[in-house]
Structure 1
Amino acid sequence: MQIVRKLTNEIHSTEFLEKHRKKPTDFTRNRTLTFPRLMSFMLNALNSSIQAELVRFFNFIDDSYLSTTSVSTAAFCKARMKLSHQAFIELNDDLVQAFYEAATIDKWQGHRLLAVDGAVTQLPTSNELLKHFGKARSHAAMPAVRLSQLYDVKNNITVDLQVESHSTGEREMALKHLNKTQAGYLVVYDRGYPAVWFYKYHRLKNVDFCMRIVQSSNVVKAFLESGKYSDVVDFPCTEKSLRRCRKDKISTESLRLRLVRVDLPSGESEILVSSLTDLQAYPTALFADLYHQRWGVEEDYKVLKSRLNIENILVFLLKVFYKTYTLSY
């Protein structure tokens, strides 16, 4: 209740209104759809038509005047155009911060343990959406968006969610997640993310990581041939990482990182690369369970898709933000 009260007060504050309305004259008249009501309405899990949700919302708040007043879809869309989308980003950041301040936080070896994973979601057929977001495959007819989530697997909370066009790379989206991290965090990734330039950004943020790495590089091949289960080795910049480091004006020097071999029940081996190079503080036996915990972010995607119907929520938001009002649910 304390967190809900804090966010409610924020939505009703003059400072929050002034920061997130597009013009000083917006939300100054005595309208039925005030700024706090607009925010509250859009924060609901909407999975019906806009008009049906508006009727349900105003019936729920049970105001004698409002209950007999119909707010049209056109009126809602007009009000929405006065609101900056940054309001929801700030509100989510404040929600996450309030959670961490109020809750008893579960950690892994003293680290706040996060995981990053991506997903692709199809959208309804629309020329506007197809032009803006692209499609997953060249022969596909429906547009698709790429999602990327930064998820606290020990405390079951989404710290950050990015929504981009399908052509946006997973690493580029994950790089934005790093803005929500700080020293003391440990981020776990699947095998689509390793790159020396990407490791370097974690070092710049003083954020630790553990990633599954493919076994094709010379560094990993040499490690496998050694027969060791753990070793700290040099990772030089490859040509692609050199170009990226030079472009971003960051160091091109090699990195000392740890490789860990994890044998699976199937007889196969996974190779992990990590910034946790202290062999005594982080014994090799910890890493199998550490990497397995990233499964929490994949499970959360199932919740988003099956229980929260994230596709419906995305369609609703895209209708509002990209004016694709002719789409059907």
Structure 2
Amino acid sequence: MAKQHINELHNKNFINNSIVIFGRDYPSYDMFDYLNEKGLFFLMRVSSSFKMIQAISSEDCAFEYKSKGELKKLRVIKIKLSDDTTEILVTNIFDEIITHHQFKELYFLRWGVECKYKELKSSIEIEEFFGTKPIAIEQDFYASIYVSTLHHLLRKMPMLR
């Protein structure tokens, strides 16, 4: 499903010349290869249990792996959080002009999106659709966003007296 969405966005030129940012549900060598083949830049969070990560001690380094008989390369960035946990990011951007700290800032820009999605999931059940056809799902999605926006605006308005 993720590849289908990426394909649609790529074909419509929505994500070309962009950095696509993923949460930790997406990493796989297959996905890394797919994004590279599409010519897309990405920044992806990976779990500390992801095998390639376990041997890396540096906070910012290149990592090589073999896929489809070829040697491929990724950049691994480890970020220490205030609670002493470590977030691990993987990217195909090797330009050293983009620093470890900038990748951290870039990744955490998506946190607002995550919080909003969590709200939409729990309060208006955005993942519960009344139909199965794409048009029905799309209508449900937009209706949910509309209701959420209206709710937010009404909460911000001063009470009428």
Fold agreement, TM-score > 0.5: yes
Query: Which of the residues 91, 103, 114 maps onto 1:274?
Result: 91
1:200 aligns with 2:30: no
Cross-structure match for 2:49: 216
The one-letter amino acid of 2:72's match is L
Query: Which of the residues 114, 128, 132 maps onto 1:298?
Result: 114
Considering only aligned residues, what root-mean-square deviation do their CA atoms show, in Å? 2.6
Q: Which runs of 5+ in 2 are unaligned?
A: 137-161
> Residues 283 and 177 (structure 1 numbering): CA distance in 2 closer, same or farther, change over 3 Å?
same
- Name the CA distance, whole Å, in 1 between partners of 2:34 and 2:69: 12
Cross-structure match for 1:231: 61
The one-letter amino acid of 1:288's match is K
- The structural deviation recorded for 1:210 is 0.9
- The structural deviation recorded for 1:216 is 2.9
TM-score if structure 1 supplies the norm length? 0.35
Aligned residues: 129
> Residues 174 and 222 (structure 1 numbering): CA distance in 2 closer, same or farther, change over 3 Å?
same
- The structural deviation recorded for 1:305 is 5.7
> Residues 306 and 220 (structure 1 numbering): CA distance in 2 closer, same or farther, change over 3 Å?
same
- The structural deviation recorded for 1:204 is 1.3
The equivalences for 1:56-71 within 5 A come to none
Does the CA-based 8 Å contact 1:262-1:270 persist in structure 2?
Answer: yes
- Name the CA distance, whole Å, in 2 between partners of 1:199 and 1:176: 15
- Name the CA distance, whole Å, in 2 between partners of 1:296 and 1:268: 20
- Name the CA distance, whole Å, in 2 between partners of 1:286 and 1:256: 20
- The structural deviation recorded for 1:303 is 4.0
TM-score if structure 2 supplies the norm length? 0.68
- Name the CA distance, whole Å, in 2 between partners of 1:274 and 1:217: 14
Q: Secondary structure at the match of 2:56?
A: helix
Cross-structure match for 2:154: none
- The structural deviation recorded for 1:263 is 0.2
- Name the CA distance, whole Å, in 1 between partners of 2:80 and 2:109: 16
Does the CA-based 8 Å contact 1:234-1:254 persist in structure 2?
Answer: yes
> Residues 197 and 267 (structure 1 numbering): CA distance in 2 closer, same or farther, change over 3 Å?
same
> How many percent identity over aligned positions?
29
Q: Which runs of 5+ in 1 are unaligned?
A: 1-172, 238-250, 322-329
